Chain A
Amino acid sequence: MEATHAIPHPGVHEAHHEGSGFWRGYVFSTDHKVIGLQYGFTALCFLLFGFFLMLMMRWQIGHPGQPVPIMGPVLEKVLGQVASRGIMSPDLYNSFGAMHGTIMVFMAIVPLAFAAFGNYLVPLMIGAPDMAFPRVNMASYQAYVLGGLIMFTSFFIPGGAAQAGWTSYSPLATSIPTNGQTFWIVGMVLLITSSLLGAVNVIATIIQLRAPGMTWMRLPFFVWAQFVTAFLLLLAFPPLEAAALMQLMDKVAHTSFFLPTGLAIGGTLANVSGGGSPLLWQHLFWFLAHPEVYVLILPAMGIVAEIIANNTRKSIWGYKSLVYSILTLGFLSFIVWAHHMYLTGMGTRISTFFQTTTMIISIPSVVILTCLFMSLWGGSIRFNTPMLFVMAFLPMFGIGGLTGLPLGFSYSDLHLHDTYYVIAHFHYIVAPGTIFALFAGIYYWFPKITGRTMDEFWGRVHFWLSLVFMNLIFQPMFAQGMAGMLRRMSDGGANYSAATLGPDVSGGLSSRILHLNIFILWAAVGLGIAQVPFILNFFWSIKHGKPAGSDNPWQATTLEWQTPTPPPHGNFATPPQVYRGPYEYSVPGHDRDFTPQNEPEKA
């Protein structure tokens, strides 16, 4: 076990650091590490909440019209009429669906992948004392919490939460008689504000606060990933904010930005001026939402690269290719959005344009995945829990990415659009993709944050069970989608079953396809149970986990491991001097199989 290269705990910084009580130290802190942990904890809570929403939805899909077990009476007590007798009404199903998507994307994954991991690690990895704007950082977290609270409380208002999908298409979104849609818009504005502030912070920090010697091409790939992600958030979110503002005006000021002339609701002509365009909403929404999905995956790719390099004891294969690919990916992600809109009646020329850019964007994606795969070749692989999750990420993301191709071609998308195939595709990328990478990151950086490791045995249990159940949930959905099962059906497709449609109508859903719903339900329950060891392991290990034994237990090269554990305020007593790239593992002629970035050259 090598001697730690940690810098002695700096008493010098105490002079700057005002004696903080509980409130300044843990609640209103401007320290990027505290804020990162705040984001992480809040996001994980929302992740669990979104998961429970999905479980109840899967029950309804598998057993339409039957009372939800255990939660049925609770729903009825809390929500009233929409869950009468414990049965999920279609409106309640729709609100769960809309909020599951919204919560998972905007309140769980992005805050966890970008804000939590990014805030904690980026300043450490570049050798900075904190983010460039610590008070803006605190404000961004507070905006996030406020937005999240508004979203959460919308469940309990009369009419319930938003019900028009996470996509909130007009005119449906404006005409649903609930203030939940308004809460959704206000919540979104706050969440967008939080992301914008965070993005400005991350970009400015990476540009301005790199330690001496930390050139652009010596940055850990994780930092590059966060850099590009921040740009996506910075430039893609504002059009959605504008659109949200316009939809809010439609809802409360009765404007007609997205309401067409002659709109009739429930048979009566709507009392609005008309003249608006529902497609305008879709364009502005997807202009964000496509880069948003890259926001969901890029930090995960960054985490995967760090853990692969560390656990293969060799450098990442193709660092330059990775960097140029991620920059290209970020750029291209802004001009592919209408592949979500192939069925809106666009002409062939514009459809071809978007189809072409969509196909081109798969190239940098494949390059990145290939580089990560190639990095395993010839490696001296350590199969610890983080590495298991990361290795599973590679084929899982591969499946998710490849199944995007028939969706990217407008011709095949005619059949697959808005079916369960789409759901399977994006969940493969985010669930056994991004979330696996985030789990890996938690297991990996846990010892730096707490000084203890999570239990390895239960980590493996968590991994294998999650891997199996994730695949059991989402693999059948490809079959359901290809059979024509549509999304967002609260009865699980029963109305379109071959039995209901009768023998004269072709294309009905077979009973085998529908029976998969029950199979998926039980796989989802299994996945939920598989998270119990993780949650228990996580909390137990904070106080009782095996001590890490050193400041750098994984023997890693990057700067976050060259600090005391946990890193103090200000991270480094003096700016570290960087002498080499981020992945100097197993360099011939050295006595150890790794050389930290800030270790001086031997004379």
Chain B
Amino acid sequence: MDIPYTVELRPDTGLYNAKVGIWLFLASEVMLFGALFSAYILLRVGAPEGYWPHGWLNVPLGTANTLVLITSSITTVLAWVSLKANQFGRFKLFHAITLLCALVFVGIKSFEYHDKFVHYEFTLKNGKFADGHMVENKLKQDGNSFTGYAVIRGHVVEDERELYDLNAHKAPAHEDIRIDGAQIAKMGNYGPWHNTYTAIYFTLTGLHALHVIGGAIVIGFLWGPGSKLWETDPERFTNRIEISGLFWHFVDLIWIFLFPVLYLL
């Protein structure tokens, strides 16, 4: 006896099996990202006054990524529509664009991540803070002390909170600053360890990016070797495109919330 309703709709539920499966899975994903969003809210509300960052992320790049994902969303649904209309060629075209968008998204994200890893904050022994992107790193670390020097393009501040809310003041002039090892009390880049904001930023966007990559792999497989199924069982193949499309839309949906929460607020 074969498993029924893999393609045919079950009369009382009006659904085929994989559609039930993917919505159940998406429900669990809502809880997963929901927990991370809850963590974000809690960490932000619990942060001391003036110590929650604003303006640390590149809004134009984030906006571009949002538009890229939205575009990939419509090409995904149009790819499915093409198959319903028996137009295999257009399906291939639309999903090729989807995959291209995924590539662009991950590319821009990688650029953003890299930017954070070359952005340093130095706590100086004189109580001031130097902050900027590394131009030249000739520092050697021995335990808690440093020798050598580094050149950063940035600025020096007295109150650390000036490094946090970048939207509150006009951007200060960035110039090349040389910092000697002997001046440094502490240093670190803007990786996840920098503060709870970078921690939740990297975790949320990192998990999201993994979902983008995973979804792209599945769609890529269906676009490539998996598309052979169109010749033998077109309805089943169309359903697979619908199911993978649902996952892709969900990934877009998460980003629709991630973008304002992390970049704009």
Q: Do A and B bind each other?
A: yes
B46 touches A (CB below 8 Å): yes
Q: Given A204-B20, A246-B203, A276-B43: A284 and B35 within 8 A (CB)?
A: yes
B108 touches A (CB below 8 Å): no
Partner of B4, one of A133, A196, A254, A575: A575
The answer to whether A575 and B28 touch across the interface, beta carbons within 8 angstroms, is no
Q: Given A234-B24, A234-B27, A257-B43: A275 and B196 within 8 A (CB)?
A: yes
The answer to whether A273 and B10 touch across the interface, beta carbons within 8 angstroms, is no
CA distance A200 to B18 in the complex (A): 10
In the complex, per-residue mask of B1-36: 1 if CB is within 8 Å of any chain A CB, else 0: 111110000100101111011001101110111111
CA distance A249 to B20 in the complex (A): 33
Please report which residues of chain A, range 13-39, place their CB below 8 angstroms from some CB of chain B when the two chains form the complex.
13, 16
Which chain A residues border B2 with CB–CB below 8 Å? 16, 129, 570
Which chain A residues border B181 with CB–CB below 8 Å? none
A536 touches B (CB below 8 Å): no
Which chain A residues border B234 with CB–CB below 8 Å? none
CA distance A456 to B156 in the complex (A): 82
Partner of B39, one of A128, A242, A273, A574: A242
The answer to whether A204 and B17 touch across the interface, beta carbons within 8 angstroms, is yes
CA distance A338 to B2 in the complex (A): 46
Please report which residues of chain B, range 94-116, place their CB below 8 angstroms from some CB of chain A when the two chains form the complex.
none
Which chain B residues border A253 with CB–CB below 8 Å? 191-193, 199, 202
A108 touches B (CB below 8 Å): no
The answer to whether A273 and B28 touch across the interface, beta carbons within 8 angstroms, is no
Please report which residues of chain A, range 252-297, place their CB below 8 angstroms from some CB of chain B when the two chains form the complex.
253-257, 272-273, 275-277, 280, 284, 287
Which chain A residues border B13 with CB–CB below 8 Å? 207-208
Q: Given A200-B21, A242-B32, A255-B193: A132 and B3 within 8 A (CB)?
A: yes
Minimum C-beta distance from B181 to chain A (A): 18
The answer to whether A133 and B193 touch across the interface, beta carbons within 8 angstroms, is no
B47 touches A (CB below 8 Å): yes
Minimum C-beta distance from B175 to chain A (A): 27
The answer to whether B21 and A238 touch across the interface, beta carbons within 8 angstroms, is no
The answer to whether A208 and B10 touch across the interface, beta carbons within 8 angstroms, is yes
B146 touches A (CB below 8 Å): no
Chain B binding surface, main DSSP class: helix
B194 touches A (CB below 8 Å): yes
The answer to whether B35 and A13 touch across the interface, beta carbons within 8 angstroms, is no
Minimum C-beta distance from B93 to chain A (A): 30
In the complex, per-residue mask of A233-258: 1 if CB is within 8 Å of any chain B CB, else 0: 01111110111011001000111110
The answer to whether A239 and B15 touch across the interface, beta carbons within 8 angstroms, is no
Partner of B34, one of A13, A207, A239, A273: A239
Q: Which partner residue on chain B sits nearest A261 by CB separation?
A: B48
Which chain B residues border A243 with CB–CB below 8 Å? 35, 39
B207 touches A (CB below 8 Å): yes
Interface residues on B, range: 35 or more
Count contacts on A: residues with CB < 8 A to the other chain: 49
Which chain A residues border B15 with CB–CB below 8 Å? 207-208
CA distance A593 to B207 in the complex (A): 57
A130 touches B (CB below 8 Å): yes
B122 touches A (CB below 8 Å): no
Q: Which partner residue on chain B sits nearest A131 by CB separation?
A: B3
Which chain B residues border A241 with CB–CB below 8 Å? 32, 35
Partner of A277, one of B17, B27, B46, B198: B46
Q: Which partner residue on chain B sits nearest A130 by CB separation?
A: B3
The answer to whether A203 and B20 touch across the interface, beta carbons within 8 angstroms, is yes
For B17, B27, B194, which residue has the most chain A Cβ atoms within 10 angstroms? Answer: B17
Q: Which partner residue on chain A sits nearest B5 by CB separation?
A: A208
Q: Which partner residue on chain B sits nearest A257 by CB separation?
A: B199
The answer to whether A129 and B1 touch across the interface, beta carbons within 8 angstroms, is yes
The answer to whether B3 and A235 touch across the interface, beta carbons within 8 angstroms, is no
The answer to whether A238 and B29 touch across the interface, beta carbons within 8 angstroms, is yes
Please report which residues of chain A, range 422-448, place their CB below 8 angstroms from some CB of chain B when the two chains form the complex.
none
Q: Given A203-B24, A204-B17, A209-B3: A275 and B43 within 8 A (CB)?
A: yes
CA distance A200 to B33 in the complex (A): 18
Which chain A residues border B38 with CB–CB below 8 Å? 239, 284
The answer to whether A204 and B24 touch across the interface, beta carbons within 8 angstroms, is yes
Which 8 A-B pairs have CB atoms at the shortest separation, nearest pair first?
A239-B35, A238-B32, A255-B199, A242-B35, A238-B31, A129-B1, A254-B193, A275-B196
Q: Could you name 29 residue pairs across A and B whose Cβ atoms are closer than 8 Å?
A: A13-B1, A16-B2, A130-B3, A196-B28, A200-B21, A200-B25, A204-B20, A204-B24, A208-B20, A235-B28, A236-B31, A237-B31, A238-B29, A241-B35, A245-B207, A246-B39, A249-B199, A249-B202, A249-B203, A253-B202, A255-B198, A256-B193, A256-B199, A257-B39, A273-B196, A275-B196, A280-B43, A570-B2, A573-B1
